Structure 1
Amino acid sequence: MSDSESGYRPEFVAALQLFARVSEAMHARGFQRPILVGGAAAELWSTGAVNTGDFDICTTRQPELEEEMQRLGFVRPSGAGAMLKGWIHPELRLGFEVVAEVPMDGNVDAAHIRLVRPIGGGGLFRVVSVEDLIADRMGQYASGAAPDRLGQARVLLGLHPDADMAYLERRIREESAGDYGVKDIL
């Protein structure tokens, strides 16, 4: 299947492959692979139905991750209007940023972190489960700051009807301070 047949944008596929190379380099050094969260995870799990401009990453080894990113050509943006916390790869124009050491304040069940290979190869990387991602979207929706996240949660659940509903219910309740559950996105 080609990238265009998969639903993913070519630059997103290239970014996933590059992230997988960084992940493999971290693994080769004896460190845990970083975990993809946020918008890029939403784009991955939605097969491109949700688009993002950045890759949010969790790792306990940020200096080592950044060393590996530099080895693969990532640079810190500079100049007016540039994001100063993250990295970009000049060929991709997608931002990469370490947002935390662990996903979702450590509330993610480690058994629900997935190890995946991007289309076209390039190694393996870790990503939060679709259930945790849906819960994250519902937590953002519950905050009142991101009303569009309810739609993203619905798209994600619609694409993954085989989701672990008991785990999803628990995680949505945790992320939304008990205000929402699975029934709110069906």
Structure 2
Amino acid sequence: MPRPYRADFESALRMFARVSRALSAQGYEAPVLVGGGAVELYSTGAISTGDFDIVTARQSAFEAVLQDHGFVRPSGPGVATRGWIHPEFRLGFEVVSSTLLDGMADRQRVEMIDLGQDGSASIISLEDMIADRMGQFASGTAPDMLGQARALYALHSDMDRAYLARRIVEETAGDFSIEDLEGDSL
């Protein structure tokens, strides 16, 4: 793995690969990293996150594997997380859905990142990640997501533009298009 990533992120990604391998060994489909963790990966660390959002249809099994790997669920006064924390790095893990982008993302486009002896990590496709950010921006509740979508778009010229264009229209109910990633307006 290249070194532009901060140590906690790399440790969390490697742990995610080990947890994924253990879950797959139980016969379950590998969980998928989405959200800020995927953005940090695709932005090569230019945009950082505080947690790993995970999609898995087997939340109970996934959380049991997290516990087997040393994760704990924070508790006590002032703790509002629904996720799990590992004492070796400062990133939480949280299951956010049982289906990838509510079934709108093409599961065949999920990227596999080989992390050597730690195993592999499944990551939402770049195109679906950008479309998700555009959808969150379009909802009016997350204005900063446009900047993330534009940053990812600018960093990657090798993406499937036709798929991205379709996914942006789907995620934004037709309010935005791929052209909105290219300009400074909005």
TM above 0.5, yes or no, is: yes
* Paired AA for residue 115 in structure 1: M
Q: Which residue of 2 aligns with 1:77?
A: 74
Task: Say which of 70, 88, 107 aligns to 1:110.
Answer: 107
Instruction: Describe how 1:4-83 pairs up with structure 2 within 5 A.
Output: 7-83=4-80
Q: 2: distance between equivalents of 1:76 and 1:83?
A: 11
- Residue 159 of structure 1 aligns to which amino acid in structure 2? L
How far has the Cα of 1:2 moved from its partner? 5.5
Question: Counterpart of 2:57 in structure 1: which amino acid?
Answer: T
Q: Which runs of 5+ in 2 are unaligned?
A: none
Q: Offset of 1:121 from its aligned partner?
A: 4.8
| Contact 1:17-1:121 within 8 A present in 2 as well | no
Q: Indicate the residue corresponding to 2:86 in structure 1.
A: 89
TM (normalized to structure 2)?
Answer: 0.94
Identity in percent = 55
How far does the alpha carbon of each residue in 1:50-97 deviate from its partner, in whole angstroms, 9 at most, with x for none?
110010001011111111100110000012222341100012121110
CA distance in 2: counterparts of 1:83 and 1:91, whole angstroms: 20
How far apart, in 1, do the equivalents of 2:174 and 2:158 lie? Answer: 23
Deviation by residue 1:31-67 (Cα, 9 ceiling, x = unmatched): 1000100000100111001110010001011111111
What is the TM-score with the length of structure 1 in the denominator?
0.94
1:133 is matched with 129
In 2, Cα distance between the equivalents of 1:156 and 1:162? Answer: 11
Structure 2 contact 100–107 (Cα < 8 Å) conserved: no
5 Å matches for 1:152-163? 152-163=148-159
- Structure 1 segments, 4+ long, off by >2 Å, are none
Q: Which amino acid aligns with 2:41?
A: L
Root-mean-square deviation over aligned CA pairs: 1.3
Gaps of 5+ in 1: none
SS of the residue corresponding to residue 41 of structure 1 reads helix
Q: Aligned equivalents of 1:165 and 1:32: distance in 2?
A: 28
Task: State how many pairs are aligned.
Answer: 182
Question: AA paired with 2:179?
Answer: K
Contact 1:35 1:59 in 2 (8 A): yes
Letter aligned with residue 71 of structure 1: D
